[in-house]
Structure 1
Amino acid sequence: MSGFYEPSEIDEALTNYFDMQDYSEEIRVSIVSRYRAVKEQEGTIDSVLAGLAVGWDLSRMGRAEINILRQAVYEILYDEDIPEKVAANEAVELAKKYGGAEASGFVNGILGKVIRKNHESDI
């Protein structure tokens, strides 16, 4: 979400994607809203990830992995409508589908730390 594309490129990519899908306007608005919400908290989310991904520089993570983690951390920290474990499980499934060979275990480990730290109020 950060550093890979300019905002206008994201808007164009979303428009192109939506043109290929049969989504209602409500779903389209929801997707764009979520993207913007995650983007708005990206600095905080990346700080959380950097503090918990010991031995990993965020710039070394694959695009899929970092963006899956950002989405899940946003849901865990800011979206009270999504249970933490659901956010983590969905992220692990996305990592299995779109990430590298060991991505799901990595994502699961990081999100487990996020959930524990969040319960300890250390985030």
Structure 2
Amino acid sequence: MPQSISADLKRKARMAALQSLFAADVKDNLEESCLDWLTEEDSLSEETATFAEALFKGVAGNRPGLDDITQRYAPAWPVDQLALVDRNILRIALFELLHNPDTPEKTAINEAVELAKAFGSESSARFVNGVLGSVMTGLETGELVAGIPAPEGG
């Protein structure tokens, strides 16, 4: 995953990835055609579009596992009933936390909360922060390892 771009450009890339993932959910189609607009968007640099594409593909390729983790750490909220924006913000953050070691954990969480403030409902930021805080506890205790829940009792 490209890491040589600035924090501001990565933030733009996360927004672009969120928009693409949202469109894919609405269309119920995770095909890369949801990314076509990235190369047509004048305001996105090539590096930004590349980072957004990497996030999209990473989330798309790991979506069932990311959703399982969300369900595990937010059991009162079935993933399929979460707002599309919140669901995709969590997917992006979980992908970065679990599969992109170049993104610091605090950065992944903070960026997710900022996306939730910008695009979610009034309670989205608090919800996203709570779920990701629980996931971090799972990572710290070894309950969750490399994106896969540890076996029960072990």
4+ runs deviating over 6 angstroms: none
The count of aligned residue pairs is 121
**Is it true that 1:117 corresponds to 2:138 in the alignment?**
yes
Change (3 A) 1:116 1:39: same
Distance 1:111 1:93 in 2: 13
Which of residues 14, 18, 24 is equivalent to 2:39? Answer: 18
TM-score normalized with structure 2 length: 0.71
The answer to whether the 8 Å contact 1:77/1:118 transfers is no
Mind listing any 5+ residue stretches in structure 1 that lack a counterpart? none
Give % identity.
30
Deviations 1:6-30 (A, max 9, x none): 234x52x422243132333333222
Which of residues 107, 110, 119 is equivalent to 1:98? Answer: 119
Paired residue type of 1:94: L
Deviations 1:22-70 (A, max 9, x none): 3333332222122111111111111110011121111111111000000
| 1:11-90 paired onto structure 2 within 5 Å | 11=33, 13-90=34-111
Partner residue, 2:30: 7
TM-score normalized with structure 1 length: 0.87
CA RMSD of aligned residues (A): 1.7
Distance 1:61 1:80 in 2: 27
